[in-house]
Structure 1
Amino acid sequence: KPEQIANNVYAGRMGSTAPGDGWKYRGRGLIQLTGKTNYRLCGEALGLDLLTQPELLEKPQHACMAAAWFWSSNGLNSLADKGDIETITRRINGGLTGLADRQSIYARALKVLA
């Protein structure tokens, strides 16, 4: 029951105040933008009405732009330049879930790009 789970997990968090907000503003896009507050701020920055049309983040062009907005607005580029994958993971996920995988992918990317 993903809808129930989202509504329970995100109830009263990240701007979710109304019943159903957790599901409506669930993770979407390349970076899994989550929460009504993030949807509002991202929508304002991109000129999209994500509060009434959250599904716009399922379209590739908006998914990419939302990821770029989140990355930029959270100062993640300077952290990536320093190799601080732990702080990036915390800012995106709020915790360290998937950290080892991200560190491994980062190390491989450096080899390819260097």
Structure 2
Amino acid sequence: MPSSGSNVCKKCGSNIALTNALMRSICPSSVTDTFVSEFVMVANELFPKYGVNTCAQVFHIMGQGKHETFQFSAFRESLNHTRRSYTAEKLYRMATTAINDGFARLGMSLTREEKLEYIDQHLIANDPAYGKHSFGSNQYPHNDYRGRGLLHLTHYANYRECAVAIGVNIDANPNLVQDNMRVALESGLWFWKAKGIGSLADASSPDVDAKIKSVTRIINSGLKELDQREKFTKEVAEKFKVVFGGCSL
């Protein structure tokens, strides 16, 4: 049954408003019906506001969002890098820039060996400490600005810019991005529009994988888990086509 809200593809004229049934079909069974209903209601209100008004844009933002949120199960990035999976060396190599930014922000001038010792003692298997070190800010030293929301908004500067744009003080209260459905979705949609990702999704290209890669590069410059992003985007497109017809991916 269609949920409230309407959105029409500007290219083909098909209705592309989400429905509860469609959203349920792209979520795992562990996602609650309450979550599905609230997501659909808010998305149908906000997608047109932020110019997500083509089949392709819906396919891409929902596919990317499914990946970023662990299949719509978490609007908050986990930073618990366990000792079972990470050594200090491995963690430092994986996140050199973020960790070094933390040392610089905290005024810590260390040798590489000292950095590895600090990482081992303070950052491995310590989600809160890693978050504040690698994604902290001097403006609000008790907060961290890890990935949150539909597209996992990250870093204080982005939180601050988004806060001004959407009129919600997520720079002072970043947990709003993980706890409030409207803010979670609007943060992702703001990023989508601000970075011009919609034009990449709408580009005329027969190479679907290349389009997904170009969209991914803006959301995650390292193209992390590109294969899964491709899989989810294509799955969303297939399910939309069954229900609505409309444009191809």
Task: Please give the TM-score of this superposition, normalised by the length of structure 1.
Answer: 0.80
Q: Distance in 2 between the 1:31 and 1:80 partners?
A: 15
Q: Which residue of 1 aligns with 2:172?
A: 52
Match of 1:107 in 2: 234
The answer to which structure has the higher helix fraction is: 1
Any residues of structure 2 matched to 1:20-35 within 5 Å, and which?
20=141, 24-35=144-155
Q: CA separation in 2, counterparts of 1:29 and 1:69?
A: 11
Kindly indicate whether structure 1 or structure 2 has the higher relative contact order, using CA contacts under 8 Å at least 6 residues apart: 2
What percent identity do the matched residue pairs reach?
Answer: 32
In the alignment, which of 56, 63, 70 is matched to residue 184 of structure 2? Answer: 63
Query: Which residue pairs with 2:130 in the alignment?
Result: 5
CA contact (8 A) 1:7 1:19 kept: no
Note if contact 1:40-1:50 (Cα within 8 Å) is conserved in structure 2.
Answer: yes
Contact 1:31 1:67 in 2 (8 A): yes
CA contact (8 A) 2:151 2:188 kept: yes
Report whether the alignment pairs 1:40 with 2:160: yes
Within 5 A, what are the aligned runs for 1:69-88?
Answer: 69-82=190-203, 83=208, 84-88=211-215
Secondary structure of the residue that 1:34 maps to in structure 2?
coil
Unmatched 5+ stretches in structure 1: none
Q: 3-state DSSP class of the match of 1:50?
A: coil
Structure 2: gaps of 5 or more residues: 1-125, 242-249
Alpha-carbon deviation of 1:92?
Answer: 1.1
Residues matched between the structures, number: 109
What TM-score, normalized by structure 2, do the two folds share? 0.40
- What is the CA RMSD across the aligned residues, in angstroms? 2.1
